[in-house]
């Protein structure tokens, strides 16, 4: 079954990754467009028709609620989100599926199969229910950040490289990030290592004065931050100090932006 697709995603790296996954694993899906904002998406949909839309929740000028509120969406919709709570209330409605960022191939395969089933046996979708479910879903509360009570903040990581062990001090670390089910540690010197720890477990072992989880997939060190700029939609972009390079998405999610600025202010 050949399907035309639109990707609605305002993070260029995430958009490229999703498009590459679709091209590599699902040749039957042809991505014919990509948009990054509510207004751009509404304009694109007024001129084009697709079978499926992969739609991020948070966009440059608002969120996907505004797209649904503008009128019926004549396509199967697969949401992408960094937060489980959106999925629980909204994505189990009618023909809407969801992918939790960062998108994994197995999850994408599940979503594509569900889309195929619904295209083969189309049924009306009541997007008013979807919209109501989304509006009832609150952005997640900031998790308590910092060392577990009674446990000192971690000062060193021992990285296993084949038959060697490389010690990395915490004050040498620029950031931690997750991608494709792996967790990576990046040093200020630009070295990247794979960790066995998940970001969730790391989150409770680091000094909260020195590290902050800016999104579901990234923890940043305060010592490497040079400047912070505002993006549309209430998010923030971090620029690093000269000489420090990190191959991770350094965008602070809208849900964490206020807490991040408070943390940065000290």
Which of 57-71, 88-102, 249-263 comes out lowest in average pLDDT?
A: 88-102
pLDDT (average), residues 89-114 = 75
Report d(CA 237, CA 219) in Å as an integer.
Answer: 13
pLDDT at 68: 81
Average pLDDT of the chain is 83
Does residue 232 have a pLDDT over 60? yes
Contact between 254 and 58 (Cβ < 8 Å): yes
The residue behind tokens 């879903």 is 137
pLDDT digits (tens, 9 = 90+) for 123-140: 656 666 666 666 565 444
Other Cβ atoms closer than 10 A to 69 = 13
Classified as helix, coil or strand, 144 is coil
The CATH-assigned architecture of domain 156-265 is Beta Barrel (2.40)
Quick one: pLDDT at residue 99?
A: 81
Spans of all domains in the chain: 3-136, 156-265
- pLDDT tens digits, 157-168: 888 877 788 889
Q: Average of pLDDT values for 240-245?
A: 90
Between 254 and 169, where is the model more confident?
A: 169
What pLDDT is attached to residue 95?
A: 47
pLDDT digits (tens, 9 = 90+) for 196-221: 888 888 888 899 999 999 988 899 99
CB within 8 Å of 152: residues ≥ 6 apart: none
Place of tokens 């000028």: 61
Q: What percent of the chain has pLDDT over 70?
A: 83
- Four-way CATH pick for 3-136: 3.40.430.10, 3.40.47.10, 3.30.70.1350, 3.40.50.2300: 3.40.50.2300
- The region, left, alpha or beta by phi > 0 then psi within -120 to 50, assigned to residue 180 is left
Query: Buried (b) or exposed (e) across 135-157, using 16+ Cβ within 10 A?
Result: eebebeeeeebbeeeeeebbeeb
Cβ partners under 8 Å of residue 165, min gap 6: 158, 159
In the predicted structure, residue 255 carries a pLDDT above the cut 70: yes
Please tell me what DSSP assigns to residue 90.
I
Cβ atoms < 10 Å from Cβ of 110: 14
Burial group, residue 207, by CB count within 10 angstroms (0-12, 13-18, 19+)? middle
Q: Is the pLDDT of residue 108 over 70?
A: yes
């Amino acid at each position: 079954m050949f399907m035309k697709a639109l990707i609605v995603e305002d993070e260029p790296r995430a958009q490229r990754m999703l498009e590459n996954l679709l091209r590599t694993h699902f040749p039957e899906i042809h991505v014919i467009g990509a948009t990054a904002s509510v207004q751009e998406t509404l304009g694109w949909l007024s001129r084009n028709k697709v079978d499926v839309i992969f739609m991020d929740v948070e966009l440059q000028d608002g969120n996907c609620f505004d797209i649904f509120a503008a009128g019926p969406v004549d396509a199967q919709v697969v949401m992408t989100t960094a937060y489980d709570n959106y999925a629980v209330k909204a994505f189990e409605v009618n023909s809407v599926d969801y992918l939790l960022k960062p998108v994994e191939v197995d999850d994408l395969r599940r979503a594509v199969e569900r889309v195929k089933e619904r295209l083969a046996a189309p049924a009306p979708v009541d997007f008013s229910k979807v919209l109501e479910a989304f509006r009832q879903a609150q952005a997640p509360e900031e998790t308590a950040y910092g060392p577990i009570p009674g446990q000192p903040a971690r000062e060193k990581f021992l990285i296993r490289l084949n038959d060697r062990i490389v010690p990395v001090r915490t004050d040498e670390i620029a950031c931690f990030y997750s991608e494709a089910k792996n967790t990576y540690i990046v040093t200020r010197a630009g070295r990247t290592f794979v960790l066995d720890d998940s970001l969730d477990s790391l989150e409770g072992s680091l000094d909260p004065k020195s590290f902050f989880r800016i999104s579901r997939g990234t923890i940043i060190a305060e010592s490497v931050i040079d400047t912070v700029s505002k993006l549309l939609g209430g998010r923030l972009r971090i620029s690093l100090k000269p000489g420090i390079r990190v191959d991770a998405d350094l965008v602070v999610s809208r849900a964490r932006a206020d807490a991040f600025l408070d943390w940065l202010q000290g």
